[in-house]
Structure 1
Amino acid sequence: MKNFIPSSPIFYFCLFMGTMMSLSASHWLFLWIGMELNLFSFIPLIINQSNSISLEASIKYFLVQLFSSIMLITSMMSLFIMNYSLSTLLMMFFFFMSIFTKLGIAPCHFWYPMIISALSWPMCFIMMTWQKIIPLFILMFILYMMPLKLMYLLVLLSSFVGGMGGMNQTQLRSLLAYSSISHMSWILSTLILSPLISFFYFLSYSFILFPLIYINFIYNISSNNQLFNLFSSSKLTFMIFSLSMMSLGGLPPLFGFFPKWLSMMFLLNKNMIFMILFLIMGSLLNLYYYLVLIFPLMNFFNFKFMKIKLNKNFIFFFLFSFLGIIPSIYFSF
Structure 2
Amino acid sequence: MSPYVFLIISISLFLGTSLTLFSNHWLMAWMGLEINTLAIIPMMTYPNHPRSTEAAIKYFLTQATASMLVMFAIIHNAWMTNQWTLLQMSNPTASILMTLALAMKLGLAPFHFWVPEVTQGISLSSGMILLTWQKIAPTALLYQISPTLNMKVLITLAFLSTMLGGWGGLNQTHLRKILAYSSIAHMGWMAIIMMINPPLALLNLLIYIIATLTLFLMLNFASVTKIKSLTNLWNKSAPMTTAILLTLLSLGGLPPLTGFMPKWLILQELVANNNIIMATLMALSALLNLFFYMRIIYASTLTMFPTTNNSKIQWPYPQTKTINIIPTLTIISSLLLPLTPLFITLMH
The reply to whether residue 36 of structure 1 matches residue 34 of structure 2 is yes
Aligned residue type for 2:113: F
State the distance in 1 between where 2:101 and 2:326 align.
42
In the TM superposition, what is the alpha-carbon distance from 1:95 to its structure 2 partner? 2.8
TM normalised by structure 2 equals 0.84
> 2:68 pairs with 70, 74, 82, which one?
70
Which of the numbers 34, 59, 62 marks the counterpart of 1:61? Answer: 59
Distance 1:24 1:320, change over 3 A: closer
Report if the CA contact (8 A) 2:70-2:102 is conserved: yes
CA contact (8 A) 1:54 1:119 kept: yes
CA–CA separation in structure 2 for the residues paired with 1:45 and 1:317 = 24
Q: Percent identity among equivalent residues?
A: 32
Render the CA deviation track for 1:278-300: whole Å, top value 9, x for unaligned: 11112111011111111244335
- The correspondence for 1:323, drawn from 335, 339, 342, is 335
Q: Deviations over 1:194-252 (max 9, x none)?
A: 22111111111111112210111112111110101212211111010111111110111
Cα 1:296/1:33, change in 2 over 3 Å: closer
Give the Å deviation of 1:51. Answer: 2.1
CA distance in 1, matches of 2:327, 2:37: 38
2:228 pairs with 1:231: no
Query: Unaligned regions of 5+ residues in structure 2, if any?
Result: 83-90, 305-323
What is the CA deviation profile of residues 60-114 of structure 1, one whole-angstrom value per residue up to 9, with x for unaligned ones? 1111111111121122111125659xxx766555433221110111011111111
Task: Indicate yes or no: 2:276 matched with 1:273.
Answer: yes
Shift of 1:133: 1.4
Aligned to 2:245: 242
Counterpart of 1:15 in structure 2 is 13
Conservation of the 8 A alpha-carbon contact between 2:210 and 2:333: no
Task: Check conservation: 2:175, 2:227, Cα contact below 8 A.
Answer: yes
**Greater CA drift, 144-153 or 191-200:** 144-153
Kept in 1, the 8 Å contact 2:218–2:240? The answer is: yes
Distance 2:58 2:302 in 1: 41
The verdict on how the C-alpha distance between 1:229 and 1:194 changes in structure 2, with shifts beyond 3 A counting, is same
Whether the 8 Å contact between 1:251 and 1:257 is mirrored in structure 2 is yes
Give the total of aligned pairs: 317
SS at 1:271 equivalent: coil
Counterpart residue identity of residue 45, structure 1? M
- Provide runs of 4+ in structure 1 moved above 6 Å: 312-318, 329-332
* CA distance 1:252–1:50, shift in 2 (3 Å): same
Q: Does 1:186 align with 2:189?
A: yes
Q: Which moved more, 1:159-168 or 1:323-332?
A: 323-332
1:170–1:198: structure 2 CA closer, same or farther, 3 Å change rule? same
1:206 to 206, 209, 214: 209
Residue 170 of structure 2 aligns to a residue whose secondary structure is coil
| Partner SS for 1:26 | coil
- Tell me which residue corresponds to 1:217: 220
After superposition, the Cα gap between the structure-2 partners of 1:240 and 1:43, relative to the gap in structure 1 and judged at 3 Å, is same
Alpha carbons of 1:330 and 1:137: their partners in 2 closer, same or farther (altered >3 Å)? Answer: closer
What secondary structure sits across from 2:109 in the alignment? Answer: coil
Matches within 5 A, 1:253-264: 253-264=256-267
Q: Secondary structure at the match of 1:6?
A: helix
Kept in 1: contact 2:247–2:330 (CA 8 A)? no
* Alignment check: 8 A CA contact 2:12 2:36 kept: yes
- Aligned partners of 1:314, 1:39: CA distance in 2, in Å? 27
Q: Give the distance between the partners of 1:64 and 1:58, measured in 2 at CA.
A: 10
Residue 282 in 1 paired to residue 280 in 2?
Answer: no
Structure 1 letter corresponding to 2:132? T
CA RMSD of aligned residues (A): 2.5
Point out where structure 1 has 5 or more consecutive residues left out of the alignment.
302-311
- Structure 1: how far apart are the matches of 2:39 and 2:203? 27
